[in-house]
Amino acid sequence: MDRVSFILDQCRGKILDVGFVACSLHQQLLKRFDRQDVFGLDIEPVPDHPNYKKGSAEKIEFESGFFDTVVAGELIEHLPNPEKFVSEASRVLKTGGQLLLTTPNRNSLVNRFTKNYQTKIHLSLFSKKELTSLLEKNGFEVKRFFCLPYTPESSPGSSQKWFYPIREALHFVLPQSLQEEMVVFALKK
């Protein structure tokens, strides 16, 4: 299973894709769900359509309790104040709404050796414990957590393409605490 398949299989209802411009996931959402149910928020220029807004993930310009699903694929690590985003995601979700989030595992073996997550665009890196704590503090219950190896799809900007097969092989022999991409499915209480 890859992260896109997992996210697509979990989405339901009105879906907000936060930070959607730089990712192919949004096009997959539009293929699978009615356009009227797919929304987007990004700091980059967005399509001229009522379902899209240009703005910050830390101040989501949609009404409270409007969404059934919030998707944040490879987003939270780019935010200066990720707690504001998690709080805003909780605000715009209905009770029982779901947050689907992916982000690098700061404690992964690959990162420990290569420090490839420590870049100027990664402002907020998390371990599983830290991410779970942040979500719970903001009214979420983590229902599913697992890790995946990074692939060209999940990290298209990588200059280390030769390293992907090694990452995949390592993934299957490492304990979860040392694996790379964290995938979280959490429900708003």
In Å, how far are 61, 74, 136 from 23, measured between CA atoms?
21, 9, 27
As a whole number, mean pLDDT of residues 48-65 equals: 96
Whether 74 contacts 102, CB under 8 Å: yes
As a whole number, mean pLDDT of residues 116-135 equals: 87
Mean pLDDT rounded to a whole number for the chain: 90
Distance of alpha carbon 31 from alpha carbon 84, whole angstroms: 30
Report the range of poorest mean pLDDT among 10-19, 88-97, 113-122. 113-122
User: What is the pLDDT at residue 183?
Assistant: 96
Distance of alpha carbon 127 from alpha carbon 141, whole angstroms: 17
Residue 189: which pLDDT band, with cuts at 50, 70 and 90?
A: very high
Cα dihedral across residues 133, 139, 143, 148: positive or negative: negative
Report the range of poorest mean pLDDT among 27-31, 52-56, 170-174. 170-174
With pLDDT > 70 as the criterion, what percentage of the chain qualifies? 92
The two tokens of residue 93 are 């979700």
Whether 81 contacts 162, CB under 8 Å: no
Condensed to tens digits (0 to 9), the pLDDT of residues 133-183 reads 999 999 999 999 999 987 666 565 556 666 778 888 888 899 999 888 999
Q: Which listed CATH number (3.40.50.150, 3.30.70.380, 3.20.20.450, 3.40.50.2000) goes with 3-188? A: 3.40.50.150
User: What is the pLDDT at residue 155?
Assistant: 60
Whether 65 contacts 42, CB under 8 Å: no
Q: Taking the domains of the chain in order of start, what are their residue ranges?
A: 3-188
User: What is the pLDDT at residue 22?
Assistant: 79
* pTM (2 d.p.): 0.92
User: What is the pLDDT at residue 152?
Assistant: 64
As a whole number, mean pLDDT of residues 54-81 equals: 95
Q: Is 42 helix (H, G, I), strand (E, B) or coil?
A: strand
User: What is the pLDDT at residue 13?
Assistant: 98
Q: How many CA atoms lie within 13 A of 112 on its CB side?
A: 8
